[in-house]
Amino acid sequence: MNLKEYLISNKKRSVLLISIMLIMGGVIPLMIFTFFPDPENPYTIKQITLESETDETKIQALLYTPHDAARGTPGIVVAHGFCGNKQYMQPLSIELVKRGFTVVAIDFRGHGSSEGELPAVRRALDENPIDGDMLAAVNYLEDKMDAGHIGLVGHSMGGATSLRVSQNHPDKIEAVVSIGMIGTDYKLDKISNVLMAFGRLEQIFSQQQGLEFLEEYTGKKNVEIGKLYGDFDDGDATKVILGNTEHLFEVIDPVILEATVQWFEQAFNGEEANDVVITVVAHQISFLIALTGVTMLCFLLIYLLKEWIFQRKEEIPTISFAEEDALGKVMILYILGALLGAILFLLPFSYLFQAVPVSMGHILYAFIVGMALGLLLMYYLIKIRPNKDLSLSDIPQNIRGMCPTSPYRSLSYGVIAGLILTTAISALMHWSTNAAFLTLREIGAVFGMVILFFPFLFIKEFFLRNIHERVRSKNRFKEYFSMVGVGIFVDNLLIILLAGVSWQNPNSDLGFIALSMTAVIIFSVIQHFLVTWIYMNSGRNILGSTMALCIIYGWMIVNFFPFGVNSGFF
């Protein structure tokens, strides 16, 4: 048997081979498009530590320096949005440094690798502690890099911060780009050369609001999106442009990135450049290829882990409750339980859990607790109360039926599987798209989240997997994708409806809800693909899948939500 026949004669070996090929085929170009996207304009990237001008909080940043940078080279500060970090802004930073600009991309306090906590302040027009975080980068460009001109570009919260800092320090800032944040509540006459950019599918802002900004900044009527007004030399140039995406992905939208690069080319070099080549699409495709390979490899390891831990054929549980009920009826019970929990418990519990250490963590935790209680209450009202043959004591018995394998082995399996997934994805994301490796305090926070979430996610898993056991199939992959599809549907139906009615609502708080729901849907889809595979390979024991789900929840929350108790968004 030759090597080719050996590799393809076994499904596991085939998956391993394909995984390695995808990882290499994605990581190699990803490294090229991160560190060497333009051989004619090389640059270096290094980590630096700044001290916030507000209170000396340690702010971590990435310094992107062109190889031919000379005294007076223009400098640009890049700032992420709420729940973002400096690595997420890396595609934009790379496009700017390729053009010869010195770039400092910061982690705001409480975000990424920076110290401190995001303050409970929102829409402060004159001062905000995070302004000092950005100002530290401005002063670094002035004092350490001898930047001749300085510009600011920020996404969402970073865009608002860029506008505030420019407004309060008009002598320092000569050009501003605000992505996903339209500002009219500022002293616009003090902000020089401002470009507003957002996607056509933006949740919070509408094209009408873009036109209103242009009217206020220019003092003109009948303004148009996409048209340049004013003059860069006079400091009153302005423009509003539209990308082709929604809020979360605006910083990797090629249209917005090219407009941002050209804005600083005009502001600092006097004219648009005709040789701008945006490489973010190739960067993102490479990342997705590598991510596919990493996920396949993790799935293979989780499958092999099952054979090592359980060492016997998995035990498939019987349907635990209401066996006579059809799939649709159980799905309706689940959806109504989630709705009931949100209505009855979300508001009071969100106040009760204010001490959860990450911003908006109290909202998420309140929803999970409310959903668990709502499911139990709905099951009681629909199934137990009208049926004299059922009682609440049947629920623990049914739960035990969903834990057919050894609890210790199942919990161990869930822990190891969750760590495999989060560690592998963190390794790929950390240097390319997101600051994913956790600090010591973040690890502690994840551990706390796992303990807090476990009993309530355990109840959720019990009801969800009872739905899944109704879509059994002899074909393992058909069964897997059926479970994933059903899970995504029941968990996101109400969320999609809520996002739809609040999308681009004139009330910015409702628009923010639409944005939040978009992020929830993305996370929900990811976790269903991951955790369902773990459930199917854990002896179908909800102890294992719940433990893995808790680890993934904790990792995602601490990784993306900033530190700070209720940062004023709700």
DSSP string, 255-267: HHHHHHHHHHHHH
Q: Which residues contact 553 (CB under 8 A, 6 or more apart)?
A: 449, 453, 457, 527
Q: What is the pTM of this model?
A: 0.89
User: What's the rounded mean pLDDT across residues 140-168?
Assistant: 94
Confidence of residue 198 (pLDDT cuts 50, 70, 90): very high
Closest CA to 253 of 211, 178, 197, 317: 197
Contact 22, 290 (CB under 8 A): yes
If asked whether residues 90 and 23 sit together in one domain, one would say no
Least confident of 306-310, 312-316, 344-348, 356-360: 312-316
Contact 528, 392 (CB under 8 A): no
- In the chain, what is the greatest distance between 2 CA atoms, to the nearest angstrom? 84
35-94 pLDDT per residue, tens: 988 888 899 999 999 999 988 899 999 999 998 877 889 999 999 999 899 999 999 999
Q: Is the pLDDT of residue 123 over 50?
A: no
Q: What pLDDT is recorded for position 503?
A: 84
| Domain limits for position 15 | 1-35
A 10 A CB-CB count for 432 gives 22
If asked whether residues 352 and 475 sit together in one domain, one would say yes
Q: Give the 3-state secondary structure of 437-461.
A: CCCHHHHHHHHHHHHHHHHHHHHHH
User: What's the rounded mean pLDDT across residues 271-291?
Assistant: 92
Q: Give me 428's structure tokens.
A: 């790929």
If asked whether residues 22 and 49 sit together in one domain, one would say no
User: Is residue 290 domain-resident?
Assistant: no
Q: Is the pLDDT of residue 258 over 80?
A: yes
Confidence of residue 226 (pLDDT cuts 50, 70, 90): very high
Q: What pLDDT is recorded for position 322?
A: 58
Q: State how far the Cα of 210 lies from the Cα of 190, in Å rounded to an integer.
A: 19
Q: Is the pLDDT of residue 122 over 80?
A: no
Closest CA to 483 of 496, 497, 495, 466: 466
Q: Which CB contacts under 8 angstroms, 24+ apart, belong to 296-299?
A: 296/15, 296/18, 296/19, 296/22, 297/16, 297/19, 297/20, 297/23, 297/424, 298/420, 298/421, 298/424, 298/425, 299/15, 299/533
514-552 pLDDT per residue, tens: 888 888 899 999 999 999 999 998 888 899 999 999 999
Give me the numbers of helices (H) and strands (E) for the chain, helices first please. Answer: 16, 8
437-466 pLDDT per residue, tens: 777 777 888 888 899 899 999 999 999 998
Q: Is the pLDDT of residue 390 over 90?
A: no
484-497 pLDDT per residue, tens: 999 999 999 988 98
Q: State how far the Cα of 321 lies from the Cα of 311, in Å rounded to an integer.
A: 29
Q: Is the pLDDT of residue 570 over 80?
A: no
Contact 50, 59 (CB under 8 A): yes
Q: State how far the Cα of 352 lies from the Cα of 409, in Å rounded to an integer.
A: 35
Contact 438, 569 (CB under 8 A): no
Angle, helices 361-379 vs 327-352, to 10°: value is 140
If asked whether residues 174 and 230 sit together in one domain, one would say yes
Q: Give me 147's structure tokens.
A: 């930047």
Q: What pLDDT is recorded for position 510?
A: 78
Q: Which residue has the tokens 């000396």?
A: 56
User: Is residue 46 domain-resident?
Assistant: yes
If asked whether residues 23 and 82 sit together in one domain, one would say no
Q: State how far the Cα of 142 lies from the Cα of 45, in Å rounded to an integer.
A: 18
Q: Is the pLDDT of residue 3 over 60?
A: no
Q: What percentage of the chain exceeds 70 in pLDDT? A: 92
Contact 145, 73 (CB under 8 A): yes
If asked whether residues 73 and 132 sit together in one domain, one would say yes
Contact 62, 90 (CB under 8 A): yes
Mean pLDDT, the chain, integer: 87
Q: What pLDDT is recorded for position 311?
A: 66
CATH number of the structural domain spanning residue 209: 3.40.50.1820
How far CA 321 is from CA of 386, 457, 500, 545, in Å, comes to 15, 18, 34, 19
46-61 pLDDT per residue, tens: 999 999 998 889 999 9
If asked whether residues 1 and 145 sit together in one domain, one would say no
How far CA 473 is from CA of 12, 96, 235, 321, 415, in Å, comes to 21, 52, 66, 19, 27
Q: State how far the Cα of 400 lies from the Cα of 320, in Å rounded to an integer.
A: 9
**Which residues make beta-bridge pairs with 104?**
63, 77
**Which residues make beta-bridge pairs with 50?**
59
Q: Is the pLDDT of residue 350 over 90?
A: no
If asked whether residues 350 and 213 sit together in one domain, one would say no
Q: What percentage of the chain exceeds 90 in pLDDT? A: 54
User: Is residue 331 domain-resident?
Assistant: no
If asked whether residues 77 and 163 sit together in one domain, one would say yes
If asked whether residues 368 and 467 sit together in one domain, one would say yes
The DSSP secondary-structure symbol of 229 reads: B
If asked whether residues 245 and 351 sit together in one domain, one would say no
Q: State how far the Cα of 84 lies from the Cα of 238, in Å rounded to an integer.
A: 26
User: Is residue 325 domain-resident?
Assistant: no
If asked whether residues 219 and 260 sit together in one domain, one would say yes
**Domain count of the fold of the chain:** 3
Q: Which residue has the tokens 């109840």?
A: 459
Strands (E), 109-200: 150-155, 175-179, 194-199
Residue, of 473 and 252, whose pLDDT is higher: 252
Q: Is the pLDDT of residue 396 over 70?
A: yes
